Amino acid sequence: MKMLINVAENVVADALRGFAAAHPELTVDVERRVIVRRGAPYEGKVGLVSGGGSGHEPLHGGFVGKGMLDAACPGEVFTSPVPDQMVRAAAAVDSGAGVLFIVKNYTGDVLNFQMAAELAEDEGVQVVSVLVDDDVAVTDSLYTAGRRGTGATLFIEKIAGAAAEEGAPLDRVAALARQVNAASRTFGVALSACSTPAKGGPTFDLPEGELELGVGIHGEPGRERRAMMTSGEIADVTVEAVVSDLNPDGPVLVLVNGMGATPLLELYGFNAEVQRALAERRVPVARTLVGNYVTSLDMAGASVTICQVDEELLRLWDAPVSTPGLRWGC
Amino acid sequence: MKMLINVAENVVADALRGFAAAHPELTVDVERRVIVRRGAPYEGKVGLVSGGGSGHEPLHGGFVGKGMLDAACPGEVFTSPVPDQMVRAAAAVDSGAGVLFIVKNYTGDVLNFQMAAELAEDEGVQVVSVLVDDDVAVTDSLYTAGRRGTGATLFIEKIAGAAAEEGAPLDRVAALARQVNAASRTFGVALSACSTPAKGGPTFDLPEGELELGVGIHGEPGRERRAMMTSGEIADVTVEAVVSDLNPDGPVLVLVNGMGATPLLELYGFNAEVQRALAERRVPVARTLVGNYVTSLDMAGASVTICQVDEELLRLWDAPVSTPGLRWGC
Amino acid sequence: MNATPDPEAPVDAAFVRRWLDAAAAAMDRESARLTELDSPIGDADHGTNMRRGFLAARTAVEQDPPETPGGVLVLVGRTLISTVGGASGPLYGTLLRRAGKELGEEQAVSAARLRDALRAGVDGVAALGGAGPEDKTMLDALLPALDALTGALDAGGGAADALAAASAAADEGAKATTPLRARKGRASYLGERSVGHQDPGATSSALLITALAETARGDV
Amino acid sequence: MNATPDPEAPVDAAFVRRWLDAAAAAMDRESARLTELDSPIGDADHGTNMRRGFLAARTAVEQDPPETPGGVLVLVGRTLISTVGGASGPLYGTLLRRAGKELGEEQAVSAARLRDALRAGVDGVAALGGAGPEDKTMLDALLPALDALTGALDAGGGAADALAAASAAADEGAKATTPLRARKGRASYLGERSVGHQDPGATSSALLITALAETARGDV
Ligand SMILES: Nc1ncnc2c1ncn2[C@@H]1O[C@H](COP(=O)(O)OP(=O)(O)O)[C@@H](O)[C@H]1O
Ligand SMILES: Nc1ncnc2c1ncn2[C@@H]1O[C@H](COP(=O)(O)OP(=O)(O)O)[C@@H](O)[C@H]1O
Ligand SMILES: [Mg+2]
Ligand SMILES: [Mg+2]
Ligand SMILES: [Mg+2]
Ligand SMILES: [Mg+2]
């Protein structure tokens, strides 16, 4: 599998150098792998820190900026970051108002953020962690590590970020983040596996004529393999999975998220079918976002996330945001 | 080749429906294939119209909005739009101040826009057309259809769009567009061919271990095939191609553009090498944009565009823009 | 319409409509092959483009059938321009619109007038696209067809024979594009690498001329 | 450091450093295999993770070598935590940190104390990760190794033999993960589809225990 890289070991370091060059408005510590919003810490503002394995860009580094994250900690490809990164990030963004860790529910992320929280608290930073676990493809959570954190991360970072920007205190920001997580569901589909630089080839085999339902964002195979379907059929399976699990009784935000290699043209066409499938299930749509936001390297496919919103959440969603990956209202 | 589509014939229509659902802030005529900025025509403002084959998203539909295009006309995949679309778009955005057609230099685009310009003028709309031809991979233009229009299209739409937004008259907007085109060069590299829905598979064969230098954005093969190179080597070839052709003696805008399937992580890493290669050639960089902007469906690879800017062009580049695909300052 | 066609003026609106049906059927049938030819030296859409345009043209003519051969040709040309896009849309649209205009209001025309019409159309294509012989374009099928048609008629041949000769020449011409290096259209970007592939537009031109010969022969 | 190691207390700082060299070499050598195992039921990074961590740990220890076996283990554990990431970083980091802490300031320890240290480490892994036997994790190699070590020592075996038994048990345990259905870590997302694949973490654990046995045997 050909890649636009130098050597596999340096992929993340190279990307950080290139990210730094493209985004002088952010402070990028390439060596220590922490991306911080310029000017942080902001007086009286709760600091938002997230992070996770690389390979999901623009998540998380692309969501650092006004109205969203204060810092992001990129790990190796598909490998959660180490505690040192989060400790450093927490120290960099804490104004005294405390720090929120937004942690996707994977064993590695959970353990590393947990260690970091303990170390940061030892250094006098008040840390609250919220777990993102929106992926309905993981069902029997008694026998698993629990639902994975995927697309809802964007909703949580945006909405909690807007609240923090307005000066909400730590417990309120954390409560909003938990509310968004509880109100969000995601289901993902892969048409092809992704290739990690370390492996140099696809992380699993997906024959022509088949697709993988219920995939995560780490090149893991999904839970079920089926014969290839049309965009409309995929939308039905996907929307049914999230709607039947959430049972929304009000308007939702919709994220139609590309896994990386699926052209935007196809993604928009898929969105048309997702909107149809939601309308058929009488789910009113408040806002729709279509694009590559929570990716899985060069995987082809898409995920759909819905999040039921009340007026407050919708207001916070619409609030100004200015980051490399998401920008509006400012 | 698996695609997230219903049937090949409906790909563009489906995408337009999904685009309309995601962007209620734009007026999308799905039937007639015209995307218009809401509120157009704007009193006294020159109308900017572009268009071309689909498959390059977010170009052009994603660049309709404040400070950029007033309308876009998407053709079938890799097929230029028909004159009817541009005639309709011109009528929709003309406030009496005239309309600028931004046309990428492909026989199909040139001919269809030319016919449209004649028809629109018959209807009383003043039309000026500017041709984008920035692709240095096409060398002996005496024996070809001339240089192709690729990445510079974004620079032209942004800068001419900012001037039009400020109320510049048609001849001034057209002159700026031509100035940007004259000051821009692009070179593209493919690691894989793209697959069009109509063909259902790759448009050319590119064996493992080889890459294609000097590709366009329509799945055409490039001019030369070479053994696979590192990101640093590719950056050297690419930067050398654009710099030696333009010979800039001042600061440049840089677009490190993904062809579609190359992960953002790799693109940022490639940007690090592009910046190094520019620095080695003593080309000062004023601004850098990294992302998938002028794509070629699911092709893996990247292109580099540079545009030499004076203070005025840089000011217009930095001016507020609010479109689905490019947004800052507002 | 003529129940028994005038042998001196065999080309009436019904003739052109029969040709359109044959042409649309050919584009439908050969769509995949034309797209295949457009892959190595183009952007893999020529078959889709031609199929879409000719099916739309047939529908347009069926919905509101013009009464003159020129009228049918103009409507087909206009429909191609409005539905094909790409390079081939304006070029084929111009070919047929110009040809139709050349025939004016005439109700039925001779093979010689048809030749005049074709010449006007081909001139239009050359003027619009700026291509000449051996540039590896549709002209490499159209120009030999025009020459053969002219030659056969000048030699006193009948319409059907003359068009058969034109069809053979177009076929030859299309095949002869293979060794050429493209100087116009997308294929030109490939430089030397365009050599060794038959031009898709020349191929579709040959199919259109063949449909004309079949129509004259009464095969359709 | 002891030039002639005390047979009753064979494990000193030099011993642990020899083990670290052997472990780092094993991770370097087996990196591709571990990543390969992590592909069908994980995210294809376990080999890269372990290699990165152990090479860093070796460098850290070389740069500022602690003088006690416990000190070396703690430093290795801390380095793993700071350089590996993923699930394995905190888990292996905790394993070695806890083991090192258990040994305190002791200069040289017996095999029985090494067993105590291993037990403390394994308890730490279980507490942190919440996994138990047959969850298809590294514990499925570590727990049998601990049991075998304990059994051999209780039966009066020497350090080298006891560690050889532990190594065999760890190997067994790693292989026995193949038919299991994962209940922890990434592989658990696959449900039934995780069956039939050997767990990468159990495999790396077996490699680490094997390195320990080799060190005791004097092979390294
Ligand atoms: N300048 C030109 N003059 C005449 N024919 C041309 C010219 N440029 C392209 N063509 C013809 O058009 C054909 C390609 O048509 P098509 O694939 O439908 O359009 P596009 O190249 O825009 O994708 C070529 O094979 C060639 O025969
Ligand atoms: N909760 C847990 N307890 C013990 N070991 C675990 C647990 N979760 C995962 N592991 C081990 O970690 C290994 C995976 O490590 P690695 O691939 O480096 O991290 P990641 O899963 O984050 O990519 C698994 O094979 C398993 O042995
Ligand atoms: Mg991992
Ligand atoms: Mg085309
Ligand atoms: Mg074509
Ligand atoms: Mg792993």
Give how far the C-alpha of residue C86 lies from the chain's centroid of Cα atoms, to the nearest Å: 16
> Chain A residues with CB inside 8 Å of B15's CB?
265-266, 268-269, 272
pLDDT-based confidence at residue C2 (cuts at 50, 70, 90): very low
* Nearest CB to B219; choose among C44, C88, C181: C44
Decide: residue C172, CB within 10 A, 0-12 exposed, 13-18 middle, 19+ buried: middle
- Burial readout A155-185 (b: 16 or more C-beta within 10 A, e: otherwise): bbbbbbbbbbbeebebeebbbbbbbbbebbb
What contacts 24+ positions apart, CB below 8 Å, involve B20-29? B21/A271, B21/A272, B21/A275, B21/A285, B21/A288, B22/A256, B22/A268, B22/A271, B22/A288, B22/A289, B22/A290, B22/B324, B23/B324, B25/B65, B26/B64, B26/B65, B26/B324, B29/B88
- Burial readout B47-68 (b: 16 or more C-beta within 10 A, e: otherwise): bbbbbbbbbbbbbbbbbbbbbb
Residue B60 · residue B86 · CB < 8 Å: no
Q: Which residue's structure tokens are 């570590």? A: D142
Segment B211-242, tens digit of pLDDT? 999 998 987 777 789 999 999 999 999 999 99
Residue B104's Cβ-side half-sphere holds a number of Cα atoms within 13 Å equal to 37
How much distance in Å is there from the Cα of A245 to the middle of ligand 6? 28
D91 Cβ below 6 A of ligand 2: yes
| C71 closest CA partner among C11, C8, C138 | C11
How much distance in Å is there from the Cα of C58 to the middle of ligand 2? 64
Beta bridge partners of A224: A213
Q: Does residue C47 have a pLDDT over 70?
A: yes
Beta bridge partners of B291: B257
Residue C163's Cβ-side half-sphere holds a number of Cα atoms within 13 Å equal to 26
pLDDT at D3: 46
Residue in chain A closest to B287 (alpha carbons) equals A22
Q: How far apart are CA C48 and CA B53, in angstroms?
A: 13
Residue C11's Cβ-side half-sphere holds a number of Cα atoms within 13 Å equal to 31
Question: Would you call B75 and C193 a contact, using CB atoms and an 8 Å cutoff?
Answer: no
CA A112 vs CA A11, A170, B110, D83: distances in Å = 21, 21, 57, 11
Q: Does residue D150 have a pLDDT over 60?
A: yes
Give how far the C-alpha of residue B75 lies from the chain's centroid of Cα atoms, to the nearest Å: 14
Does any CB of chain A come closer than 8 Å to the CB of residue B300? yes
D173 Cβ below 6 A of ligand 2: no
pLDDT-based confidence at residue D2 (cuts at 50, 70, 90): very low
In the sheet where A301-308 sits, what is the strand order? A224-227, A210-213, A184-190, A301-308, A252-258, A285-291
CA distance A205 to chain D (A): 9
**Tokens, residue B78:** 């890799």
Q: ipTM of the predicted structure?
A: 0.93
Point out the residues of B that are catalytic: 56, 218
Q: How far apart are CA D11 and CA D107, in angstroms?
A: 8
Nearest atom within ligand 2 for CA of residue D185: 8
Residue B106 · residue C86 · CB < 8 Å: no
**Tokens, residue B131:** 């041709």
SS3 state of residue D100: helix
In this structure, what DSSP letter does residue A201 have?
S
Residue A18 · residue B270 · CB < 8 Å: yes
What average pLDDT does this structure show over D179-193?
Answer: 91
Mutate to test the pocket of ligand 1, among C34, C46, C81, C122 (most ligand atoms within 8 A of CB): C46
Residue D172 · residue D144 · CB < 8 Å: yes
Start-to-end C-alpha separation, chain C: 17
Q: How far apart are CA D126 and CA D95, in angstroms?
A: 9
Which of B257, B268, B278 is best to mutate for the A interface (most A CBs within 10 A)? B268
Q: What are phi and psi of B71, to 5 degrees?
A: -155, 150
Does any CB of chain C come closer than 8 Å to the CB of residue B78? yes
CA B28 vs CA A231, A306, B38, B48, B111: distances in Å = 21, 24, 9, 16, 24
Q: How far apart are CA C88 and CA C109, in angstroms?
A: 27
Residue A307 · residue A320 · CB < 8 Å: no
Helix crossing, D88-103 with D111-129: angle to 10°?
140
Helical (H) or strand (E) element with B153: helix B152-165
Q: Does residue C5 have a pLDDT over 70?
A: no
Does any CB of chain A come closer than 8 Å to the CB of residue B264? yes
Strands A47-54 and A99-104 turn out to be: parallel
B108 Cβ below 6 A of ligand 1: yes
What average pLDDT does this structure show over D63-73?
Answer: 98
DSSP per-residue string spanning B165-188: HTT--HHHHHHHHHHHHHTEEEEE
Q: Is A60 a catalytic residue?
A: no
* Nearest CB to A107; choose among D40, D81, D129: D129
Tens digit of pLDDT at every position of chain A (330 positions):
899 999 999 999 999 999 999 999 999 999 999 999 999 999 999 999 999 999 999 999 999 999 999 999 999 999 999 999 999 999 999 999 999 999 999 999 999 999 999 999 999 999 999 999 999 988 766 677 889 999 999 999 999 999 999 999 999 999 999 999 999 999 999 999 999 998 888 888 888 899 999 998 987 777 789 999 999 999 999 999 999 999 999 999 999 999 999 999 999 999 999 999 999 999 999 999 999 999 999 999 999 999 999 999 999 999 999 999 999 997
CA C18 vs CA A263, C29, C170, C206: distances in Å = 41, 16, 20, 17
In this structure, what DSSP letter does residue B202 have?
B
pLDDT at C1: 39
Interchain touch B–C (≥3 Cβ pairs closer than 8 Å): yes
Q: Does residue D1 have a pLDDT over 60?
A: no
pLDDT at A198: 86
H-type helices in chain A, by residue range?
11-22, 83-93, 107-122, 152-165, 170-182, 231-246, 264-280, 311-318
C88 Cβ below 6 A of ligand 1: yes
Residue A91's Cβ-side half-sphere holds a number of Cα atoms within 13 Å equal to 13
**Tokens, residue A293:** 């936001």
State the Cα angle at A194 between A189 and A195, rounded to 5°: 170
pLDDT at A204: 81
> Chain D residues with CB inside 8 Å of A78's CB?
43-45
What average pLDDT does this structure show over D191-209?
Answer: 96
C87 Cβ below 6 A of ligand 1: yes
pLDDT at A142: 65
pLDDT-based confidence at residue C3 (cuts at 50, 70, 90): very low
Choose the catalytic residue: A218, A273, A304, A316: A218
CA D12 vs CA C10, C23, D21, D25, D97: distances in Å = 108, 90, 14, 20, 16
Amino acid letter for position C139: L
Which of B2, B3, B4, B203 is best to mutate for the A interface (most A CBs within 10 A)? B4
| C57 closest CA partner among C94, C31, C93, C98 | C93
Strands B301-308 and A34-37 turn out to be: unpaired
Mutate to test the pocket of ligand 2, among D128, D137, D203 (most ligand atoms within 8 A of CB): D137
How much distance in Å is there from the Cα of D137 to the middle of ligand 2? 6
CA distance A5 to chain B (A): 5
In this structure, what DSSP letter does residue B260 have?
B
How much distance in Å is there from the Cα of D45 to the middle of ligand 6? 5
Structural domains of chain A ordered from first start: 14-182 (3.40.50.10440), 184-316 (3.30.1180.20)
Model-level pTM? 0.94
pLDDT-based confidence at residue C4 (cuts at 50, 70, 90): low
> What percent of chain C stands above pLDDT 90?
87
Residue B40 · residue A229 · CB < 8 Å: no
pLDDT at B222: 79
Among A residues 128-167, those touching chain D with beta carbons less than 8 Å apart: 137-140, 143-145, 148
Helical (H) or strand (E) element with A54: strand A47-54
The closest residue, in CA terms, to atom 16 on ligand 2 is D46
Which residues fall within 8 angstroms of residue B257, CB to CB, at 6 or more apart?
Answer: B151, B154, B188, B291, B292, B293, B294, B295, B302, B303, B304, B305
Does any CB of chain B come closer than 8 Å to the CB of residue A290? yes
* Nearest CB to B6; choose among A1, A55, A230: A230
**Taking the domain C11-217, which CATH number applies?**
1.25.40.340
CA A131 vs CA A58, A104, A106, A184: distances in Å = 20, 6, 9, 12
SS3 state of residue A32: coil
Q: Return the ligand number nearest the Cα of C204.
A: 1
Segment C60-91, tens digit of pLDDT? 999 999 999 999 999 999 999 999 999 999 99
Q: Which residues of chain B have pLDDT under 50?
A: none
* DSSP-based helix, strand, coil % in chain C, nearest 5: 70, 0, 25
C86 Cβ below 6 A of ligand 1: yes
Partners for C (CB, 8 Å, 3+ pairs)? Answer: B
Q: How far apart are CA A316 and CA C185, in angstroms?
A: 51
DSSP per-residue string spanning C4-41: S--TTS-EEHHHHHHHHHHHHHHHHHHHHHHHHHHHHH
Q: How far apart are CA D206 and CA D139, in angstroms?
A: 10
